[in-house]
Amino acid sequence: MILSTKGVVLHCMDYSETSIIARIYTEQLGLQTYIVKGVRKKGARIKRNLFAPLSIIQLVANHKEGEGMRVMREASCEYQLNGIATDMAKTAVSIYISELLSRSVSAQMADPNLYGFIEDAILNLDRATGSVAGFPLSFTIGLTQFMGFDPHNNFTGNDTFFDMVEGNFSSHPPDHAYYLSSPLSNRLSEVLTALNAGVISIVADHATRSELLTRMIEYFRIHIPGFGEIKSVQVLSDVLKD
């Protein structure tokens, strides 16, 4: 069967002398792995630059039930992401998001709502005119709702410790090491409230953003077996110091 769908490029690598292998989160089929033949040849019909991290493409590929790696027949650019391509801060954020998605999204997750969330986030990042320093944190927390472990914002004057195992706030530190202090829990609650109100990019000082992002990545690691390390975090922290 030949199928056409939109997709977001998460990662690609060279394969043989002229081809690449691309991991793409598609709108209709979830996470898929494609071989794109001849893309590294001079004058190739499908251009290699279509496969930068978070590129949004329209693709046509062979899809056969039970087949692992599929052959991409056609690909075209769905949106020109000039903002991400030309802004160092946006580029750093895009690399972080693609790595986070690569470690979070499984092949079984065909979810049009998740695809819509990812595509909207990419376009918002590309078109942003102000600072994008709070964008990684807002995206990371927003993604949890599709992963099934979104934090429950039950913070009160009594429930001031965020338990990262249970995903909610409690009145005392839990009997394990995976929780946030009261001050950081308070800031997390403020971020959750802002995101619930529709804020796209969180406004906070660099130290708070960095600490919350580090702990939210730890939160993913707790809830996703084999999640591993996010290598782009340090570069992200160095670039987004405003």
Work out the average pLDDT over 71-83.
Answer: 93
- Per DSSP, what are the bridge partners of residue 30? 26
| Residue 59 structural domain | 2-77
| Residues 94 and 65 reside in one and the same domain | no
* Per-residue pLDDT band at 66 (split at 50, 70, 90): low
- For residue 98, give every residue at least 6 positions away whose Cβ sits within 8 Å of its Cβ, in sequence order, or none: 9, 10, 11, 53, 54
| Residues 73 and 113 reside in one and the same domain | no
Report the percent of the chain where pLDDT is more than 90: 71
Going by C-alpha positions, the residue among 219, 147, 160, 148 that lies closest to residue 187 is 160
Each residue's pLDDT tens digit, 87-97: 999 999 999 99
In total, how many domains does the chain have? Answer: 2
- Per DSSP, what are the bridge partners of residue 35? 21, 71
The answer to whether residues 67 and 74 touch, using CB atoms and an 8 Å cutoff, is no
- Per DSSP, what are the bridge partners of residue 75? 59
Which of 28, 51, 77 is the C-terminal boundary of a domain? 77
What's the CA gap between 225 and 156, in Å, rounded? 31
| Residues 133 and 230 reside in one and the same domain | yes
Each residue's pLDDT tens digit, 174-207: 999 999 999 999 999 999 998 888 777 777 788 8
How large is the C-alpha radius of gyration of the chain? 19
CATH code, domain with 199: 1.20.1440.120
| Residues 161 and 223 reside in one and the same domain | yes
For the entire predicted model, the pTM comes to 0.92
